[in-house]
Homo-oligomer: A and B are copies of this chain.
Amino acid sequence: MIAKTRRFRQSTTIMFDIELYLETRKTEVETELFKSLPAIGSCPAILGEAMVHAVKSGGKRLRPILCLAAAEAAAGRHSGAMFPACAVELLHSYTLVHDDLPCMDNDLLRRGLPTVHAKYGEAIAVLAGDALLTLAFETLARTPVAGSTTMSQLVVELCRASGAAGVIGGQVADIEFAGNPTPEAVRYVFEHKTGALFRVAARLGAMAANASPESLHLLTVYAEHLGFAFQIIDDILDANQAKSDGQPELSCLTIMSLADARAWAADHTRRATEALQNLPGDTAALRALVEMLLTRIA
Contact = CB atoms under 8 A, between A and B. Distances in A.
Interface of A: 38, 42-44, 46-48, 51, 94, 98, 101, 103-104, 121-124, 126-127, 129-131, 133-135, 137-138, 140-143, 145, 150-152, 155-156, 158-160, 162-165, 168-169, 171-173, 175-176
Contacts of A169: 43-44, 47
A134 B159 contact: yes
**Number of identical monomers bound together in the oligomeric complex:** 2
A156 B133 contact: no
A155 B151 contact: yes
Given A141-B156, A142-B152, A155-B151, A165 B126 contact: no
A94 B134 CA distance: 12
B127 A172 contact: yes
Contacts of A135: 159, 163-164
B155 A137 contact: yes
Given A155-B155, A159-B138, A123 B175 contact: yes
Contacts of A162: 134
Nearest to A130: B168
Contacts of A126: 98, 101, 103-104, 126
Given A43-B163, A137-B158, A141-B156, 8 more contacts: A44-B176, A47-B164, A47-B168, A101-B123, A103-B122, A134-B163, A137-B159, A140-B155
Given A98-B126, A130-B130, A155 B172 contact: no
Nearest to A129: B130
Given A98-B126, A104-B123, A44 B173 contact: yes
A165 B134 CA distance: 11
Nearest to A133: B133
11 contacts: A38-B164, A43-B163, A43-B164, A43-B168, A43-B169, A43-B172, A94-B130, A124-B172, A129-B130, A130-B133, A135-B164
